[in-house]
Amino acid sequence: MLLKSLVYPKENLTTINESTTLQEALDILEGTGFRCVPILDESDQIFRGNIYKMHIYRHKANGGDMDLPVTHLLKNATKFISLDTSFFKIFFTIKELPYITVLDEDHHFYGILTHSTLLNMLSQSWNIQTGSYVLTVVSNGKRGDLATMAKIISKFTSVASCITLDVGQDFKGRRTLFTLPAGVDENKLNQIIDHLERKHFEIQEVESLTMQD
């Protein structure tokens, strides 16, 4: 994964020094509109954690000392990835975080990967802007099913993208979403569906991308 192209580098970010007070941090957060920012050490290289606006407000509302350093309320100290981290680890590490910190090969703070950037990358992989239809095809999940489905579709058109979803134990099978490229008309679509169904693949859903707003 070319993570560097998705990361906001340190020089383009608002960060807070570990000696910054909670009041100073709150002023920065209010001024920038961010709900949280990274905390770095005195060298401006080591990631210490994140400081969240809501935690500062909660601390203040409870009569807490606002002259304490931000490290008093730091969170997510172990939530970070490296530039060479695999996509799957990134996906499951970021979860509910607004962003995940990225470290370089020297374990220095490199930047952040935001939740929205990751989701945008995933949406682009569907080729929604240039596709015609998305077919949700249900198979038994047997070896060779994906190759067979792709071969059938490729008789009529190329495959713009393909995403396979492993579903829960309550569903005995596998859903595969095929995005068909622009130029596939309804007649060709119906031919593809007919040939897939002849091979006992179930077409669970057909979504037209040309009708999207």
101 & 150 share domain: no
Residue 84, helix vs strand vs coil: coil
105 & 140 share domain: no
pTM for this model (two decimals): 0.69
86 & 145 share domain: no
Each of the 213 residues of the chain gets a pLDDT tens digit; together they read 467 888 999 999 999 999 999 999 999 999 999 999 999 999 999 999 999 999 999 999 999 999 999 999 999 999 999 998 887 788 888 888 899 999 999 999 999 999 888 877 776 666 666 789 999 999 987 889 999 999 999 999 999 888 887 655 555 678 899 999 988 999 999 999 999 999 999 999 999 987 544
- How many domains does the chain fold into? 2
**What CATH number should be reported for the domain holding residue 174?**
3.30.70.260
Picking from 121, 140, 165, the residue at the C-terminal end of a domain is 121
**What CATH number should be reported for the domain holding residue 71?**
3.10.580.10
167 & 181 share domain: yes
- The CA-atom distances, in angstroms, between 89 and each of 20, 81, 95 are 32, 8, 10
89 & 142 share domain: no
The answer to whether residue 213 is domain-embedded is no
Q: Rounded to whole angstroms, how far apart are CA atoms 99 and 7? A: 10
The answer to whether residue 152 is domain-embedded is yes
Distance between terminal CA atoms of the chain? 30
Range of the domain at 200: 127-208
59 & 84 share domain: yes
59 & 131 share domain: no
What's residue 168's pLDDT? 55
Contacts of 194 (CB under 8 A, 6+ apart): none
